[in-house]
Structure 1
Amino acid sequence: MEAPTQLATDIWTVATWDEYIQTIENPAYEQAKGFYHNGRMLIDMAPIGFAHSCDHTIILFAVSLFCTLKGIPLKGQIGCSFRKLGLQECQPDCSYYVGERANLIPQLTKIVDLNTYPAPDLVIEISDSTLSSDLGNKRLMYEELVVKEYWIVDVQKAQLKAFTIANGGSQAIAKSTLLPGLSFSLLEEALQRTRVADQSTVGAWLMQQFQAI
C-alpha cells in the first residue's frame, strides 16, 4: 500500500505502526517530526517561527550553562528519534541524558532503540501552536516512556510548565528534582527578559543567578 499523498498533519490520527513508518519514510514528510502512541500518529509539520526558535535557544543555553556551572554531566539532543518498535516513537524538541547516563547512548546512533536503552531523563517541548497536544497526548506518552522530567515552554505566555514523572503519572513541580537547585521561575524570568533584551544580555544575567545558587 502506498503512503497517502495527502495527510492531515499537526493532529493525532488513528494509524497502524506500519502506516506510521510508511508515512514518516515518505520524502514528502522528511522535514516533519513524527510521534506514535496508543495507535495514533502525529506528523508535526508546523513551521518553526522566530519566537519558537528564540525560546528554544535560550532554554538550551540555560540548561547547558546551569549544568556546566554545577558540574552535572549532561548530553543533549535536538529532534532526536526515540523508538519502541511497533509501539511508540517520539522526536521531542530537545532531550537530555543526565548524570551517570550522560554517555550511555553510542555517539553514532541514528534512532535510539527504547527496547535497548532507557528514555532520556529530561524532555522539553517548545509550544507555540501545539500546547494542547504537548499537555495532553505527548504528556501521556512521556509518562509511559518513564521520562524523569517533562518541561513545556509556552511561547505565547513566556511561561514554563514542568512535571516530574513517576509511577505511571506526572505531577507539576516548581523546581527541578533532576537538576537540583534549578527553579523554573528563574527560567520563566529569562524567557520574559528575552522579549526585550538580546540573548547575550540574558545569558549574562542567568550566569549571575546560577552562580548565586
Structure 2
Amino acid sequence: MIIAVKPTQQWQQATWQDYEAMRDEENGDRCKLFFDNQRLWLEMGAEGINHARFGDLFAMILAFWAAKFPDVKLSTFGGCQLEKKGRRAIAPDMVVYVGEDAPTWKTGQSRFIDLDNWRSPDLVGEISDTTLAIDLDEKKRLYADLGISEYWVIDVRAYRLFAFKLDETGVYQQCEVSHVLPNLAIALLEQTVELLATKTNTEAAIWFSQQIAAHS
C-alpha cells in the first residue's frame, strides 16, 4: 500500500515503493525527494526568488571556472535525482563531476543517476533558504555516507557559504580551500555571495570571473 506523503519539515516513514510512486507521479506537485533507511524527506520543488537567483549564480560561477580551467572538465547536473536502488536517494541543488567519467544517458536506462552503475559526484551543494538546519545536519551525513568529496551549503538569508571536505575517516570537515576545484578559496565564493545584497547575480558572477582572471 502506497502511503500519502506531503512536504514537511521532518522525515516520514516510507518504503522504497513509496519513494518511487512520489518520484514518478505525473500529476503531483514537483518535489525534491530524499530517501534513507526507510525514511522519506520531501521539499517543494518550486523555487522562490532567493533560491533561484543564488542557484543561477552558482551555475554561472561553475561555468566561469570551467572556462578558466578547461583541463578540469566539469560536468554539472543541478537538481538531478541520484539513487542507490532500494536504499538511498538524494536530490542536491548542485551536482558536479570532475573528469571524463561523468554519467551519460542511453535509451532504455533510468532518467536518474544510478549510483550502482556510476560513481558518486565529486561535489554537491544545497541552496538553503528554509532548510539550513537539515542541510547542515542530516543531508550532510547522507552525502558523506555516499563518499562525496566536497559539500557546499549556501545560506541565502545570511549571505554565507559553508564548505566541507570529506576526511580519511569519512567525516566532513569545514575547509577554507576547495579540493575539487583546485585552489579555489572559499572566501572568494563568500565574497561573491555577499555581493547579492546589493548587486544582481550576473554582476556578482562577472566580478567572480574578474577575480579568478586577476589571480591566475
Offset of 1:142 from its aligned partner?
0.4
Q: How far apart in 2 are the matches of 1:2 and 1:96?
A: 33
Q: What amino acid maps onto 2:92 in structure 1?
A: P
Superposed CA offset, 1:50-79 (max 9, x none) = 111111111111122112202220110121
TM-score w.r.t. the length of structure 2 is: 0.89
Structure 1 residues 208 and 11: CA distance shift in structure 2, 3 A: same
Matched, 1:165 2:163: no
Q: Which residue of 1 aligns with 2:178?
A: 176
Q: How far apart in 1 are the matches of 2:200 and 2:22?
A: 39
Q: What amino acid maps onto 1:19 in structure 2?
A: D
Matched, 1:194 2:196: yes
Offset of 1:121 from its aligned partner?
0.8
Superposed CA offset, 1:11-32 (max 9, x none) = 2112222222223333454511
Q: Which residue of 1 aligns with 2:36?
A: 37
Tell me, what secondary structure is at the counterpart of 2:96? strand
Matched, 1:90 2:94: no
Q: What amino acid maps onto 1:41 in structure 2?
A: L
- Map residues 134-173 of structure 1 onto 2, 5 A cutoff: 134-166=135-167, 167-173=169-175
TM-score w.r.t. the length of structure 1 is: 0.91
Q: Which runs of 5+ in 1 are unaligned?
A: none
- Map residues 97-112 of structure 1 onto 2, 5 A cutoff: 97-101=97-101, 104-108=102-106, 110-112=111-113
Q: How far apart in 2 are the matches of 1:97 and 1:150?
A: 12
Query: Would you say the 8 A contact 1:32–1:44 is kept in 2?
Result: yes
Superposed CA offset, 1:123-175 (max 9, x none) = 01100000111111111110111111110000111111011114321111011
Query: Would you say the 8 A contact 1:10–1:46 is kept in 2?
Result: no
Offset of 1:47 from its aligned partner?
4.3
Query: Would you say the 8 A contact 1:148–1:164 is kept in 2?
Result: yes
Q: Which residue of 2 aligns with 1:66?
A: 65
Q: Which residue of 1 aligns with 2:49?
A: 50
- Map residues 119-134 of structure 1 onto 2, 5 A cutoff: 119-134=120-135
Q: How far apart in 2 are the matches of 1:184 and 1:46?
A: 27
Q: Give the alignment's Cα RMSD to 1 decimal.
A: 1.8
Q: How far apart in 2 are the matches of 1:2 and 1:83?
A: 19
Report percent identity of matched pairs: 30
Tell me, what secondary structure is at the counterpart of 2:176? coil
Tell me, what secondary structure is at the counterpart of 2:205? helix
Query: Would you say the 8 A contact 1:3–1:23 is kept in 2?
Result: no
Q: How many residue pairs end up in the alignment?
A: 210
Q: What amino acid maps onto 1:83 in structure 2?
A: E
Tell me, what secondary structure is at the counterpart of 2:152? strand
Matched, 1:209 2:208: no
Query: Would you say the 8 A contact 1:124–1:152 is kept in 2?
Result: yes
Tell me, what secondary structure is at the counterpart of 2:188? helix
